[in-house]
């Protein structure tokens, strides 16, 4: 039985390896579809400088001494991520660890969209053990200005404070990291 199972697995692997080109085509089509869907989802994100709307920042400990605009000004010259999320969003909860993993090594600020008042957002951050800063967007005005229609969403700003990339929906740690590095690379190498 084990020999037959082993030989079946080996023949499948051999068949897969012999047809690698067709699998590569399938992967390329899936990648193009994913890119097209992301482009469609982020079609409302403005091009150019980040919107100038301001909001107070908080963390799990309470109010922070900066606002969204002062934080962005402090990080001018760096590639930064602005991550939109909501306490009521299950996909945001699934992806929050991915953002948290990068928070210590990249400048990331988050926006709590329509998630209640400062106390409710602070309680959520504390309960989920999230150390990031969150701008309060209780009425969705910030999200609208940034072109965000659904959460989670991550917008990458280049070192000049201009919107360079946008991603809507669940994103892995590797996906966030790759977007940040790509925008950084584009800033370092002219023409990329």
Phi/psi at 66 (5° precision): -115, 165
Q: Residue 138: its pLDDT value, please?
A: 93
In this prediction, residue 30 has a pLDDT band, given cuts at 50, 70 and 90, of confident
Q: Please name the residue that has the structure tokens 């023949």.
A: 11
Question: pLDDT for 92-141, tens place per residue?
Answer: 999 999 999 999 899 999 999 999 999 999 999 999 999 999 999 999 99
Average pLDDT for 22-43: 82
**% of the chain beyond a pLDDT of 90:** 64
Which has more pLDDT, 64 or 123?
123
Residue 192 DSSP label: -
Average pLDDT for 158-172: 93
Cβ proximity of 131 and 190 under 8 Å:
no
Average pLDDT for 69-92: 95
Q: Residue 95: its pLDDT value, please?
A: 95
Q: Is the pLDDT of residue 68 over 80?
A: yes
CA dihedral over 95, 100, 106, 109, signed as positive or negative: positive
Q: Residue 189: its pLDDT value, please?
A: 65
Q: Is the pLDDT of residue 192 over 90?
A: no
Tokens of 78: 């760096």
Name the nearest CA neighbour of 82 among 100, 107, 117.
107
Distances (CA, A) of 170 to 30, 84, 87, 111, 146: 16, 11, 15, 16, 18
Average pLDDT for 35-49: 82
Distances (CA, A) of 87 to 16, 28, 114, 138, 148: 43, 35, 8, 11, 16
Rounded to two decimals, what is the model's pTM? Answer: 0.82
């Amino acid at each position: 039985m084990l020999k037959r199972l082993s030989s079946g697995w080996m023949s499948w692997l051999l068949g897969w390896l012999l047809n690698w080109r067709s699998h590569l085509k399938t992967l390329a089509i899936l990648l193009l579809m994913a890119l097209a869907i992301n482009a469609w989802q982020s079609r409302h994100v403005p091009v150019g400088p980040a919107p100038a709307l301001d909001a107070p920042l908080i963390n799990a400990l309470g109010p922070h001494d900066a606002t969204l605009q002062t934080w962005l000004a402090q990080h001018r010259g760096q590639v930064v991520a602005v991550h939109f999320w909501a306490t009521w969003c299950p996909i945001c909860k699934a992806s929050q660890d991915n953002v948290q993993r990068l928070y210590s090594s990249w400048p990331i600020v988050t926006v709590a969209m329509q998630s209640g008042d400062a106390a409710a957002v602070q309680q959520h951050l504390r309960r989920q053990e999230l150390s990031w800063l969150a701008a309060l967007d209780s009425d969705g005005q910030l999200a609208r200005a940034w072109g965000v229609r659904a959460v989670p969403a991550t917008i990458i700003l280049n070192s000049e404070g201009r919107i360079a990339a946008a991603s809507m929906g669940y994103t892995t740690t590797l996906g966030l990291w790759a977007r940040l590095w790509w925008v950084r690379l584009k800033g370092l190498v002219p023409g990329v």
